[in-house]
Structure 1
Amino acid sequence: MPRLFGTDGVRGLANKDLTVELALGLAQAAAQVLGSGAFEAGRRPTAVLARDPRVSGEFIAAAVAAGLASSGVDVLDAGVIPTPAAAFLIADIGADFGVMISASHNAAPDNGIKFFASGGRKLADELEDRIEALLHGPKLTPLGGDVGRIRRFADAEDRYILHLLGALPHRLDGLSIVLDCAHGAAAGISPEVFTDAGATVIVIGNDPDGMNINDGVGSTHLESLAKAVLEHGADLGIAHDGDADRCLAVDHEGSLVDGDQIMAVLALSLAERGMLHERTLVATVMSNLGLRLAMEAHDIRVLQAKVGDRYVLEAMNEGGYTLGGEQSGHLIMADHATTGDGILTGLQLVAEMARTGKTLKELVGVMTVFPQIMVNVRGVDRHRVGGDEVVADAVRALEEELGESGRILLRASGTEPMVRVMVEAADQPTADRMAHELADVVKRRLAV
């Protein structure tokens, strides 16, 4: 039976894969696992509950609240706020754990349930496995005054906004920004924060109706943002995803600035100010070769983790590193957050523009982005990709041709019968040719 928890909680089509019954059961099981310390100390645990604005979040949050309260957990309902806000609030008030209802950058019909432990930290696999094991077992059934209470977390947004502004290293006065809130959880917070920080703000994608989240807007659809930046003559654009844990940007010319480029800018800024621990940046194996070369040129080590923000976070925690992230714009700044925070990232990026007086285009010029292509090879046995000698020989031959001017990565999908072929090269035609040549070899050798 496949594991219920994926790389970022439990996710699926709302009311089909993610049902009321599943949400209720997960909440009851989580109460036993994540609230055990409080119960053993003779008190009721406290949990923060939040969601993004997709319509199914209303009934899923209600089911989660019911499951927690019926298990003896006091629930503070923060309503619609970003995922990183929920993580921050758990730590800020000393809650025992928290639950975020969101499917992040997915379309509106999907939804998900993410659990956070005390301190606002994502769960280790072992805790997720314990929750899953208790899903269909006996539940806690307190009676009378021992049941949990559900209350509104009245100042949730204010606490989070003050936290973001408190982390700002430089005001943003004189800069104009277009914000794309993806019709998501950032809509009620991000414009206010950037305005309070001193910027002139133009907002798009800030009219969530429950079904339009990520629909043609946000970090997965940057065309509207680029157009708005050019129309308004803004200094840059910032795009969030549905739950605002990601940040991508466009410069004043409408050119995309991805997570690797943002990491390069922030890593150099932190290093210059003596705030990049051991001069180390944590990225993933999918980050652009140009990031590593740019960091090497400034004596900054790039530590590569597996794809997935949880693996970036694990590597950061193990070494006590201060900055890490992914090309997708999911960046973690450990001095201020326990998870990716798109609003925090955007603020820090724009603050560096204000501090240096440089345009975003000038700042990201520190990194040369190598042309990159990803080819997904479907219908193959992904488990054999590391052991086939013909595939290995093909990779070696292409790597020899590339030399130091590029790289090749084969990666088995974690969820589908598919192998991802990624090639970076000095020019796009070379990258395209090599990727498709290698994809053909993989298809012939590993077809099922």
Structure 2
Amino acid sequence: MARLFGTDGVRGLANRDITAELAVDLAVAAAHVLAERGEFSGHRPRAVLGRDTRISGQFLSSAVAAGLASAGVDVLDLGVVPTPGVAYLTGSTDADLGVVISASHNPMPDNGIKFFARGGTKLDDAVEQAIEERLGEPWERPLGAQVGTITSSERLAQDYVDHVVSAVRSFAGAERPLEGVTVVVDTAHGAASVLGPRALVLAGATVHTIHAEPDGLNINDGVGSTHLEVLQRTVVEQGADLGVAFDGDADRCLAVDHTGAVVNGDAIMGLLALALKESGALYHDTLVATLMSNLGLHRAMTAAGITIVEAAVGDRYVLEAMRDGGFTLGGEQSGHIIVSDYATTGDGVLTALLVGARVRSGASLREQCASIETLPQVLLNVTGVDRSRVYSDVLLQEALGRTRTELGDDGRVLLRPSGTEPVVRVMVEAATAELARSHADALATVVRDRLAL
């Protein structure tokens, strides 16, 4: 059987893959596993629960709350709140567990269930596996006063807003770190539709908000960080200093400069790495990025005396590398940015505040990102192939070696098998788009020929 947990919790089509029954079972299993690991010893266990704006989140969060309470866990229901808000409040309230009902940037029909451990960190793979193995097992149910309570705690969300505003004040050394900065914010009709703009205003920004009218059905629907076109136009029309876009659960953020040009996660990481190095807050002058980060970021960081540690694709692997090395900044090209001095996970609202503070501090966002070149990148998905033979097929590896030799220091190539599907991803960066496309097409052909099922 395929593993239920992926790189970001359990995710699938709501009410078919992610059912109310599964939500109850996952909550009960999580309570049992954490109790047996001693997480609840000596006190009555407590969990915080939040969701994004999908209509299916209503019945799924109710099911999770019911499962936890039936297992003797008191539940603080935060309502609609960004994923990083749940992570922060798990730690700030000293809760034993955090649960998020969200499918992040996925389309509205999807949903997911993600857990945070005490302190607001993601569960280890071993704990997730243990939860999965305990699904549906018989258990002795608590009775009477031993069952858990469910309390609405939506006002706690303001504590998260206060936290991120306090963080950007510390980062910038100013009480109103975005004063004089005009920002257009696209909330993707998602979890940060209220809290994201509120935080920017509290930090001093002039804010124009778009796509902040969630109706349960429109989350991520042609809006947010995966669809930046309207944000680009609006920034130019409003004469704004920058635009920021969240995804449905606001754990990622992409930006747009005053000309309407996209500033992706690589550029944001580079911008923040330079700022943190300047203030002495970039531990070991090191940035954690993924294998997919652009060669242009590597070049800019090398020129600035910053080392890049590469992690596997997925914010959980970035977090693992950051924890292992004690590093303070990491992220992904997609906009998951983790600043460990202020957050335990990717935080789109915090990222927007930090980028806005850098714009207020001096040059425009476009000028500050000018040194972080983005080389043309082509990514192809080759389907219907045996991904397990990527590294063992001699002729494919020879073709990969030739491509790397031809690109030299002016490009980069990566073959990455999917973790769940018969797919191999071919990524090529080169000095020109034409060259990147040519090499990617040629290598994809070899993959298709050599690894066909």
Q: Which TM bucket (shorter chain)?
A: over 0.9
Gap change, CA 1:153 and 1:394, over 3 Å in 2: same
Cα distance in 2 for partners of 1:85, 1:20 equals 24
Q: Answer yes or no: is 1:435 the counterpart of 2:430.
A: no
After TM superposition, give the deviation of residue 140 of structure 1 in Å.
4.4
SS in 2 for 1:248: strand
1:302 paired residue among 292, 308, 321: 308
What are the equivalent positions in structure 2 for 1:42-53 lying under 5 Å apart?
A: 43-53=43-53
Residue 32 of structure 1 contacts residue 140 of structure 1 at CA under 8 Å; is this kept in 2? no
1:362 paired residue among 346, 367, 370: 367
After TM superposition, give the deviation of residue 35 of structure 1 in Å.
3.7
Q: Answer yes or no: is 1:17 the counterpart of 2:23.
A: no
What are the equivalent positions in structure 2 for 1:249-268 lying under 5 Å apart?
A: 249-268=255-274
1:345 corresponding residue in structure 2: 351
Amino acid at match of 2:221: D
Cα distance in 2 for partners of 1:35, 1:44 equals 10
Q: Which runs of 5+ in 2 are unaligned?
A: none
After TM superposition, give the deviation of residue 159 of structure 1 in Å.
0.4
> 1:70-105, CA deviations, whole angstroms, 9 ceiling, x for partnerless residues?
110000000000000000000001000110000000
1:219 paired residue among 202, 225, 231: 225
Q: Which runs of 5+ in 1 are unaligned?
A: none
2:90 corresponding residue in structure 1: 90
2:412 paired residue among 407, 411, 418: 407
Q: TM-score normalized by structure 1?
A: 0.98
Cα distance in 2 for partners of 1:383, 1:354 equals 49
SS in 1 for 2:191: coil
After TM superposition, give the deviation of residue 138 of structure 1 in Å.
2.0
Cα distance in 2 for partners of 1:416, 1:198 equals 46
Gap change, CA 1:31 and 1:140, over 3 Å in 2: farther
Cα distance in 1 for partners of 2:136, 2:395 equals 46
2:185 corresponding residue in structure 1: 179
Q: Answer yes or no: is 1:287 the counterpart of 2:288.
A: no
Amino acid at match of 1:281: L
After TM superposition, give the deviation of residue 394 of structure 1 in Å.
1.1
SS in 1 for 2:224: coil
Residue 56 of structure 1 contacts residue 111 of structure 1 at CA under 8 Å; is this kept in 2? yes
Superposition CA RMSD, Å: 0.9
SS in 2 for 1:79: strand
Cα distance in 2 for partners of 1:371, 1:184 equals 31
> 1:165-195, CA deviations, whole angstroms, 9 ceiling, x for partnerless residues?
1101331111111000000001010111101
After TM superposition, give the deviation of residue 268 of structure 1 in Å.
0.3
SS in 2 for 1:318: helix
Residue 79 of structure 2 contacts residue 154 of structure 2 at CA under 8 Å; is this kept in 1? no
1:326 paired residue among 324, 332, 335: 332
| 4+ runs deviating over 6 angstroms | none
Cα distance in 1 for partners of 2:244, 2:109 equals 25
SS in 2 for 1:403: helix
> 1:115-154, CA deviations, whole angstroms, 9 ceiling, x for partnerless residues?
0000001000110011111112123411111110000114
> 1:288-326, CA deviations, whole angstroms, 9 ceiling, x for partnerless residues?
001111100011000000001110000000010000000
SS in 2 for 1:216: coil
> 1:366-386, CA deviations, whole angstroms, 9 ceiling, x for partnerless residues?
211111000111111011011
Aligned residues between the structures? 446
Percent identity between the aligned chains?
Answer: 58
Cα distance in 2 for partners of 1:270, 1:47 equals 34
After TM superposition, give the deviation of residue 346 of structure 1 in Å.
0.9
Amino acid at match of 1:414: G
2:236 corresponding residue in structure 1: 230
1:392 corresponding residue in structure 2: 397
> 1:45-92, CA deviations, whole angstroms, 9 ceiling, x for partnerless residues?
000010001000000001100000011000000000000000000000
SS in 2 for 1:120: coil
Q: Answer yes or no: is 1:335 the counterpart of 2:341.
A: yes
> 1:347-378, CA deviations, whole angstroms, 9 ceiling, x for partnerless residues?
111111112x1111001112111110001111
Amino acid at match of 2:187: C
Gap change, CA 1:377 and 1:154, over 3 Å in 2: closer
2:60 corresponding residue in structure 1: 60
After TM superposition, give the deviation of residue 156 of structure 1 in Å.
1.4
Amino acid at match of 2:41: E
Amino acid at match of 2:277: A
> 1:5-58, CA deviations, whole angstroms, 9 ceiling, x for partnerless residues?
0110000101100111100000011111224435432x3200001000100000
